[in-house]
Chain A
Amino acid sequence: MKKILRALVLLSFFTLHLSPLMAQGILGGHVTGNIQLESQMSRADSTIGAPDVPQGILMNARADVLYTNGDFSAGLRFEAYQDPLLGFDPQWKGQGLAHYFVAYNGERLSLTAGHFYEQFGSGLILRTYEDRYLGIDNALLGFSAKYRPIDGITLKAVAGKQRYFWSLGEGLVRGVDGEMALNSLLPFMAESKLRVNLGAGFVSKYEEDETIAAEAAGHILNLPLNVGAGAFRADVGFGGWNLQAEYARKGQDPSALNGYIYRPGEALNLNLSYSQRGFSAALQAKRIDNMGFKSVRSQTGEMLYINYLPATPRQHTYAFPSMYPYATQVNGEQGLQADVMYKIKKETWLGGKYGTDLHLNSSVMTTLDTTVIGGRGTEGYTVGNGTGDLLYGDLSFEVARKLSKSIKVSATYLYQVFNPIVENEHGSLHHNNAVVADVSWKVSKKHALRFEAEWLGSDSRYDPEAGETDRRAGDWVMGLVEWSIGSHWFLSASDQYAYNDGTGNYYNLSVGYTRGATRLQLGYGKQREGMLCIGGVCRQVPASNGLTISLTTSF
Chain B
Amino acid sequence: MKKTILLGFIGLFCFAACDKIEPDQYTVATSGGSGNGGRWSNGGTQCALVEKYTGPRCVNCPNADVTLDSLHVQYGEQLVVISINHPTGQGEPFPNQPDMRTEAGTAWDQYFGIGAIPAAYLNRNKAKQYSGSMDNLGSDIGALINQDPSIELTINADGDTATRQIDITVSYHIYDRLEGDITLTLALTEDSLSYRQLHPSRGIVNDYIHNHMLRDVITDTWGDDIPTDGVAGESKVKNFTYTVTNPDIKLQNCHVVGFISYKNDRSVLNCNQAPVVINQ
Contact = CB atoms under 8 A, between A and B. Distances in A.
B69 interface: yes
Nearest to B200: A300
Contacts of B30: 218-220
B127 interface: no
B74 interface: yes
A376 B60 CA distance: 15
Interface residues of A, number: 52
A251 interface: yes
A222 B24 CA distance: 10
A226 B16 contact: yes
Interface in B7-35: 10, 13-14, 16-21, 23, 25-30, 32
Nearest to A174: B17
A421 B57 CA distance: 11
Contacts of A467: 57, 92-95
B106 interface: no
Interface string A408-426: 0000000000000100111
Contacts of B14: 176, 202, 204, 228, 230
A287 to B, nearest CB: 17
A228 to B, nearest CB: 3
B185 to A, nearest CB: 27
Given A174-B13, A426-B198, A212 B95 contact: no
A221 B32 contact: no
A155 B95 CA distance: 56
B25 A222 contact: yes
Contact of B74 (A211, A221, A379, A380): A211
Contact of A260 (B13, B19, B32, B66): B66
B241 to A, nearest CB: 32
B73 A211 contact: yes
Contacts of A372: 202
Question: Contact size class for B?
Answer: 35 or more
A221 B63 contact: no
Contacts of B60: 300
Nearest to A178: B10
Nearest to B208: A375
A260 B203 CA distance: 15
A212 B26 contact: no
Given A213-B66, A256-B66, A378 B26 contact: yes
Contacts of B10: 176, 178, 202
Interface of A: 155, 174, 176, 178, 202, 204, 206, 210-214, 216, 218-222, 224-228, 230, 251-252, 256-262, 298-301, 331, 367, 372, 376-380, 421, 424-426, 466-467, 469
30 contacts: A174-B13, A174-B17, A202-B13, A204-B17, A206-B17, A211-B70, A211-B73, A213-B70, A213-B73, A224-B21, A226-B16, A227-B19, A230-B14, A252-B20, A252-B21, A259-B202, A262-B21, A262-B23, A299-B133, A300-B63, A301-B132, A376-B66, A379-B23, A380-B201, A424-B200, A425-B198, A426-B94, A466-B95, A467-B92, A467-B93
Interface of B: 6, 10, 13-14, 16-21, 23, 25-30, 32, 57, 59-60, 62-63, 66-67, 69-74, 89, 92-95, 132-133, 198-204
